[in-house]
Copies of this chain bind each other. A is one copy, B any other.
Amino acid sequence: MSGRFVTIGEAAGATGVSAKMIRYYEETGLLGRAERTASGYRVYSEADLHALRFVRRARDLGFSMREIADLLALWHDRSRTSAAVKAMALDHVADLRRRIGELEAMARTLEHLAERCCGDERPDCPILDDLAGGPREP
């Protein structure tokens, strides 16, 4: 109800989204055009801060800006189904799990190579040998 409005710096401090990113989100259309004072300063209402925190939280959960735009649309759509939201979330989880698997494979490969490397002052190193020769050489 209150008509309190804050500047972009205060909005940044209150939401954890940098002023730079707030402008960027506006520029790219993720968020609507902010209100302005007569002198051109952006001003933010409590509702705006709410949206910024939403974006921040979604970003922390690894959603892309494209996905966040979709989530915002679902958030604002009163006739959305929870099934739609859940599907998006699970899609994203699958994507995260896929990326985790890739990194995990890299880490395991490197750990195996490192195990076989004595790590002393001599130059012989199975890690470089693998990089040089590839893992499937005879």
For A60, what are the chain B residues with a Cβ–Cβ distance below 8 Å?
Answer: 106
For A123, what are the chain B residues with a Cβ–Cβ distance below 8 Å?
Answer: 78-82
Question: Interface range on chain A: under 10, 10 to 19, 20 to 34, or 35 or more?
Answer: 35 or more
Is A64 part of the binding interface, using a Cβ–Cβ cutoff of 8 Å?
no
For A87, what are the chain B residues with a Cβ–Cβ distance below 8 Å?
Answer: 119
> 0/1 per residue, A96-136, Cβ < 8 Å to B?
11011001101101110110011111111101101110110
Q: Give the contacting residue for A113; candidates B89, B119, B125; CB below 8 A.
A: B89
Q: Are B119 and A93 in contact (CB under 8 A)?
A: no
Is A58 part of the binding interface, using a Cβ–Cβ cutoff of 8 Å?
yes
- Docked complex Cα distance between A110 and B94 (Å): 11
Tallying the copies of this chain within the complex gives: 2
- Known contacts A74-B128, A75-B132; A117 and B103 CB within 8 A of each other: no
Q: Are B111 and A93 in contact (CB under 8 A)?
A: yes
For A54, what are the chain B residues with a Cβ–Cβ distance below 8 Å?
Answer: 131-132
Q: Are B57 and A134 in contact (CB under 8 A)?
A: yes
For A81, what are the chain B residues with a Cβ–Cβ distance below 8 Å?
Answer: 120-123
For A134, what are the chain B residues with a Cβ–Cβ distance below 8 Å?
Answer: 53, 57
Given contacts A81-B120, A83-B120, 17 further A-B contacts (CB under 8 A): A50-B132, A57-B134, A58-B131, A60-B106, A74-B128, A81-B121, A82-B117, A83-B119, A85-B125, A86-B114, A86-B125, A89-B110, A89-B117, A90-B114, A93-B107, A93-B114, A96-B106
